Structure 1
Amino acid sequence: MIKTLPSSTTSQISSELAKAHTERGEASQGRVLTLLVKTTEKELEEVLANAIYASQEHPSRIIAIVTDRAEAPDMETLPSVAVGTVAPLDAEIRLGSDGGAGEVIVLRPSEGLLRHLDTLVIPLLVPDAPVVAWWSNLVPASPSTSLLGRMARSRITDAQNTDSPMDTFLALREHHTIEETDLSWTRLTVWRGLLAALIDEPPHSAIKSVTVRGSNHALSVDLLAAWLAWALNVPVEIEIDENVSAVRGVVFHREDGDSIIERPSDASSDLFITKPGQHKQTISVPHRTLGDCMTEELRRLDPDEIYNAVLTEGWDMISHNHWNK
């Protein structure tokens, strides 16, 4: 069910939401969190589909703020509008199959209201539930000081989805706080688990260095290399493969030979594992979707100490010069 509320107010939205719950015999209690999403009209439906997917495990009130009515690229940094300025708000309420395991509120504020996102959103938050903020593509340099970020216990960005992934990521790193993570790191969860298992398996000969193979412009490649450099304290080199879009594989250069784990192509769901003196193994590892990554992040709202260490220590242990080529 989708109910459209043109030229509305937060009070009217709350009232209509309560009325809809009553008509459907539902209760708004039981929502484990409020997920704030800042996005564009073009990406709205895809973003909501993934947020709703994640809400199946984490029943949430999803509040999506669509920014297309504003002409300025970063409305959160602009001065406030004068008191009394008319600032219309168009909204939607989505419930049932359109709202996942919770409900979806879509807000399309005018330019004036974009300067007051905190006062716009606060009345719509689920009481006594944590707030998570997700920027799907419009990533502020400092999420913790942005209007949405100040309300959130956990802040999720996706620098890879922006026009300039590395520039965005470097700005995020400069202003990083422990409550923040980026989906470029979340996409590595399976890789990190497999690599940790590979390191622990015999043979246990010393690792002299590591080569990470992957795309020229995928932040996950750099983050994986930084994690390995930090965790193993050995030289890590990035080898570019222009035929893939993410991580292709990892080679552990050991004293008795190379241990290799790699995906033959972007299209393949298989990984091949090769160890000295052993036959090649094949394991099925499906690609992670955006919904999978969001589900993981909503499952873990506590700070990610490893990610923090990779940013503060591991990142400077490797070269990122390939981004300039």
Structure 2
Amino acid sequence: MIIDMPNTRTREIAHKIEQLHEERGESATGRVLTLLIATEDADLEHALEIANSASREHPCRVIAVVPDTNPADQSGEGEPNAAEVAAEVSASRDNPAVDLTDGPNDPNDSNLNAQVRFGADAGAGEIIILRPRGGLINHPDTLVIPLLVPDAPVVAWWPTTPPSNPAKDLMGAMARSRITDALHSNNPEATIERLRRNWTPEDIDLSWTRLTVWRAMLASMLDQPPHLPITAAKVTGKADFLPMEMLCAWLRLKLGVPVETEFVPDAQAVTGVYLTREDGVISLERPYEDQALISLPGQTPQEVSVPMRTIEDCLTEELRRIDPDEIYAEVINEGWDLIRH
């Protein structure tokens, strides 16, 4: 079920959602969180598809904010005065009875289009798409607050290029967890450097989450006797691949040895990790997308299933955890500098 709500207000959206819940005989209290998505129109449907998949494990209310950068609308009204909109924002925060979506020049002009998706079109929850226009583009927090699920944590996700400082972003500031994906930004290296400079404990990047299976398998291999010290390490894989750099930073930080990198032509991700100790080389290789080979000195190599992680897998994992990731904090703040130097 998809319901378009042109030139609407947040109170009308909230009322429509309550009405739909009543008609379906369900309650929003079954939602475990509110997922805020900040994206552009071109990436919206892909982001919602990923959120729908993740919501099957974590029933949530998804609120996507997609700025309408074209001030013209069906009514032909021009862009409202930014100063007047800012005054409305201040008033609405001081007085909850004031609705920012009541146009400053015309009470019948809300400068907000919306769409509500329910049922099969919304995964295990509901989806609200907000398309603010004019001055409202600069105040997504005021639009989102009336639509949050009561007493449920808020998670903010930027599927592509995130703000330089997610903690100070208007939507990010209200979130208990802030999820970025520098790998899919317009410049991954520059993006991760900005995120590092402005890091807070609530921040996590999906480039790190993509390594969960690799880290777990490597830790399991090192837990097996004999527990000899690692003297050298090498990682192979795709060139200029941010998760590979994070894996190198983690190994350098935890093992205390230099980490060599080798780029493999046509590789799509990390293809192998080789850890040297006095009795031989421990290796974890992935020659194919869904299969890995574990090799330990003196033992027959063992094949294991290791499918490539999808964005849905990574987002689902982060929605499951929400709490700060201490290992990621160490890697991004300490390990990264070790491999850069």
Q: 1:255 aligns with which of 275, 278, 281?
A: 278
d(CA) in 2 for partners of 1:240, 1:80? 50
Q: Are 1:124 and 2:147 counterparts?
A: yes
Q: Output the amino acid matched with 2:13.
A: I
Q: 1:177 aligns with which of 182, 196, 200?
A: 200
Q: Which stretch of the first structure deviates more once superposed, 62-71 or 243-252?
A: 62-71
1:9-45: CA deviation from partner (whole Å, max 9, x where unpaired): 1111111111111122221222111000011222211
Q: Are 1:273 and 2:275 counterparts?
A: no
d(CA) in 1 for partners of 2:162, 2:68? 15
Of the two, which has the highest radius of gyration?
A: 2
2:193 counterpart SS class: helix
Q: 2:255 aligns with which of 232, 246, 249?
A: 232
d(CA) in 2 for partners of 1:242, 1:142? 35
C-alpha distance 128-205 of structure 1, shift in aligned 2 (>3 A): same
Give % identity: 51
Map residues 1-325 of structure 1 onto 2, 5 A cutoff: 1-67=1-67, 69=69, 81-83=83-85, 84=104, 88-265=111-288, 268-319=289-340
d(CA) in 2 for partners of 1:252, 1:59? 41
1:254 CA displacement? 1.1
Structure 1 segments of 4+ aligned residues over 4 angstroms from their partners: none
1:3 CA displacement? 0.6
Q: Which stretch of the first structure deviates more once superposed, 107-116 or 126-135?
A: 107-116
d(CA) in 1 for partners of 2:272, 2:191? 25
Does the 8 Å contact 2:9/2:110 carry over to 1?
no
Does the 8 Å contact 1:34/1:60 carry over to 2?
yes
1:120-157: CA deviation from partner (whole Å, max 9, x where unpaired): 11001111111000001130000000011111011000
d(CA) in 1 for partners of 2:70, 2:337? 37
Alignment TM-score, normalising by the size of structure 1: 0.91
1:281 CA displacement? 1.3
1:289 CA displacement? 1.2
Does the 8 Å contact 1:205/1:254 carry over to 2?
yes
Alignment TM-score, normalising by the size of structure 2: 0.87
Does the 8 Å contact 2:156/2:172 carry over to 1?
yes
1:47 CA displacement? 0.9
Aligned alpha-carbon RMSD (Å) = 1.7
Does the 8 Å contact 2:82/2:134 carry over to 1?
no
1:70 CA displacement? 6.0
Does the 8 Å contact 1:262/1:273 carry over to 2?
yes
Does the 8 Å contact 2:111/2:134 carry over to 1?
no
2:65 counterpart SS class: strand
1:241-287: CA deviation from partner (whole Å, max 9, x where unpaired): 2321221110001112111111114xx30001122232221111111
Aligned length: 311
